[in-house]
């Protein structure tokens, strides 16, 4: 069927964890809204309440916050086949402190929070799907905390390279510096000293 074309990636992702009948597939897709974002366009802005999750079918986004001095700190990087949202805001219904912004042209399938609740009611197996994804995301998040607490900047950069190999090239040094938690100037010096070693 033509209507499911743009949904292939998400259906494959879902199929890794739970099986859906044809009717369930149709219902699930009916709750999703496809949306394109151009580079630097926002999926979410600070102050808004995050009431949807986005599944990326192409492109790449970052979520970040700005501190008092307007320095950008990247919290997450998400690429095709990943869900992204401000969980803090989504789960506790609080205003978001994050910006979520497309780093390159990006296509996303949006699922609103109320629609997700409907989905859970109609197809309870989606509880399992999201449980599994969230447990993984949580595990990765915990790892990030231990990295920040226990590793120096150079080692955090190694970790970044390992985990984001495929997409490291689409990020400027500034972005990477922000993700690993150092300034661009320091990161530049760090790279230089690595090259000569």
- Binding footprint of a second copy on the chain (CB under 8 A): 65, 67, 71, 73, 75-76, 86-88, 90-92, 97-98, 120, 124-125, 127-128, 130-131, 134-139, 141-146, 148-151, 181
**Considering only residues 7, 174, 179, 194, which one is a binding residue for DNA as defined by CB under 7 A?**
174
**Considering only residues 152, 165, 169, 197, which one is a binding residue for DNA as defined by CB under 7 A?**
152
Is 102 one of the binding residues for DNA (CB under 7 A)? no
Instruction: Work out what residue 121 binds among DNA, a second copy, none; the CB cut-off runs from 5 to 8 Å by kind.
Output: none
CA nearest to 72, candidates 190, 191, 175: 175
Alpha helices in the chain (DSSP H): 8-15, 22-30, 87-92, 113-122, 125-150, 153-164, 173-180, 184-195
* Smallest separation (angstroms) from DNA to the CB of 139: 24
Instruction: Work out what residue 183 binds among a second copy, DNA, none; the CB cut-off runs from 5 to 8 Å by kind.
Output: DNA
Instruction: Work out what residue 49 binds among a second copy, DNA, none; the CB cut-off runs from 5 to 8 Å by kind.
Output: none
Nearer to DNA, 66 or 118 (CB): 66
* Smallest separation (angstroms) from a second copy to the CB of 39: 24
Contact region for DNA (CB under 7 A) — 30-38, 48-56, 105-113, 149-157?
Answer: 149-157
The set of residues, in sequence order, having a beta carbon less than 8 Å from that of 37 and lying 6+ positions away, is 43, 59, 61, 102, 105, 106, 107, 108
**b/e sequence 4-34, b meaning 16+ C-beta within 10 Å:** eeebebbeebbeeeeebeeebbeebbebbee
Nearer to DNA, 126 or 187 (CB): 187
Nearer to DNA, 95 or 181 (CB): 181
- Residue pair 99/43 in contact (Cβ under 8 Å)? The answer is no
Burial class (CB in 10 A: 0-12, 13-18, 19+), 104: middle
């Amino acid at each position: 069927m033509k209507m499911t074309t743009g949904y292939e990636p998400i259906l494959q992702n879902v199929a890794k964890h739970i099986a859906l009948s044809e009717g369930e597939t149709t219902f699930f897709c009916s709750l999703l809204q496809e949306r394109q974002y151009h580079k630097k366009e926002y999926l979410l802005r600070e102050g808004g309440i995050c009431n949807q999750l986005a599944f990326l079918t192409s492109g790449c986004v970052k979520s970040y916050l700005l501190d008092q001095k307007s320095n950008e700190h990247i919290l997450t990087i998400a690429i095709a086949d990943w869900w992204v949202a401000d969980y803090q805001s989504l789960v506790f219904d609080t205003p978001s402190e994050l910006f979520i912004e497309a780093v390159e042209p990006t296509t996303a399938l949006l699922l609103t929070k109320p629609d997700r609740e409907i989905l859970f009611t109609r197809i309870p197996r989606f509880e399992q799907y999201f449980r599994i994804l969230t447990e993984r995301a949580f595990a990765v998040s915990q790892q990030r905390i231990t990295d920040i607490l226990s590793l120096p900047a150079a080692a955090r950069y190694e970790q970044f390279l390992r985990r984001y190999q495929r997409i490291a090239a689409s990020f400027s040094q500034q972005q990477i510096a922000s993700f690993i938690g150092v300034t661009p100037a320091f990161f530049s010096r760090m790279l230089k000293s690595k090259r000569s070693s």
